[in-house]
Homo-oligomer: A and B are copies of this chain.
């Protein structure tokens, strides 16, 4: 049985997206790039994951056209990535509220 996108057998965009964002470190990487570009090692240190997995997640994010590598400044969000981030920004505020509630 051919497996295509992990965890998504339908191929519906929302499922593909949820699967991508649900991979370890992906949300975190997007979050770390929210303000300015970061170098590979900066990113790795910031999130504290192994270079192996940072690299493979970056590869997935680049393939998804959410992140790109600029030789001069480092990894950064694409316009598409910035759009996605914009949807997530309210999360910051909500997280504080949530932390108080639990």
Contacts and interface: CB of A to CB of B under 8 A. Distances in A.
B102 A94 contact: no
Chief secondary structure at chain A's binding surface: helix
A9 B46 CA distance: 11
Interface string A12-36: 0111111101111111100100000
A101 interface: yes
Count copies of this chain in the complex: 2
Contact of A95 (B17, B65, B96): B17
A83 interface: yes
B16 A27 contact: no
Interface of A: 7, 9, 13-19, 21-28, 31, 47-49, 63-65, 80, 83-84, 87-88, 90-92, 94-96, 98-99, 101-102
10 contacts: A7-B28, A14-B92, A17-B98, A18-B27, A18-B28, A18-B31, A18-B91, A21-B27, A22-B23, A64-B102
